[in-house]
Chains A and B, each alone.
Chain A
Amino acid sequence: EAGVTQSPTHLIKTRGQQATLRCSPISGHTSVYWYQQALGLGLQFLLWYDEGEERNRGNFPPRFSGRQFPNYSSELNVNALELEDSALYLCASSYRGEVGNTIYFGEGSWLTVV
């Protein structure tokens, strides 16, 4: 069974541009989560989508946005890129958004802003 898949693996963008990251959850999972892992800042929660709706949002500016499609895949958009947006972006999924359900992570997308 395929795990959480993310694309692209690496992305280099210029400051001010937009980046789009994509995620396919494990088959049967309806909840998708996005996390940012920046050097020195640890793992920070970005967004949670469940059944196509945004359910929760972390402490990030509005230029971080996303959506979940009817097939439960998701994309994360980062507008007006800043140098400090350089990080590993991890997508994760779980079977529904029920408390205690295991959240499984993908390998991540490395975003470098120059």
Chain B
Amino acid sequence: AQSVAQPEDQVNVAEGNPLTVKCTYSVSGNPYLFWYVQYPNRGLQFLLKYITGDNLVKGSYGFEAEFNKSQTSFHLKKPSALVSDSALYFCAVSFGMEYGNKLVFGAGTILRVKS
């Protein structure tokens, strides 16, 4: 079954420290992986995606993510966290047209960056 999991409900990190938000997926084919961020009472903003190619993907606002096929993971990372990064982060996966080209989202991870 196609699914995506974000094992941590919340991640706390100090400003200036590196951050990691975890995502794993279950797939029966080649996944297309996405990260989105949602600020309070707002819609989702696209951060980055992995389709194919280099396992390390760079995105908006200094975020990057590493695709690991053997571990079926797509963790979001940032070398130095900012207080303004505090938000709700969603990992999503698409399994292609045969599954309706829809995005399946994880439950979300709240990131809190403290100064």
Chain A interface residues toward B at CB < 8 A: 4, 31, 33, 42-43, 45, 48, 55-56, 58, 90, 92, 97-100, 102-108
| B contacts, CB < 8 Å to A | 32, 34, 36, 42-46, 49, 51, 90, 92, 94, 96-97, 100-108
A102→B101 contact, CB < 8 A: no
CA distance A104 to B106 in the complex (A): 17
- Across the interface, A100 reaches (CB within 8 A) one of B42, B46, B49, namely B49
Which A residues are in CB contact (< 8 Å) with B49? 100, 102
Cβ contacts under 8 Å, B36 to chain A: 105
Given contacts A48-B100, A99-B94, contact A108 B43 (CB under 8 A): yes
- Residue from A55, A97, A103 with most neighbouring chain B CB atoms (10 Å): A103
> Are A104 and B102 within 8 A (Cβ)?
no
A34 to B10, CA, bound (A): 26
Instruction: Determine the distance from Cα of A56 to Cα of B42 in the docked complex, in whole angstroms.
Output: 25
- A90-B43, A105-B44 known; A99+B101 contact, CB < 8 A: yes
B100 A106 Cβ-Cβ under 8 A: no
Most A Cβ at <10 Å: residue of B32, B43, B90, B103: B43
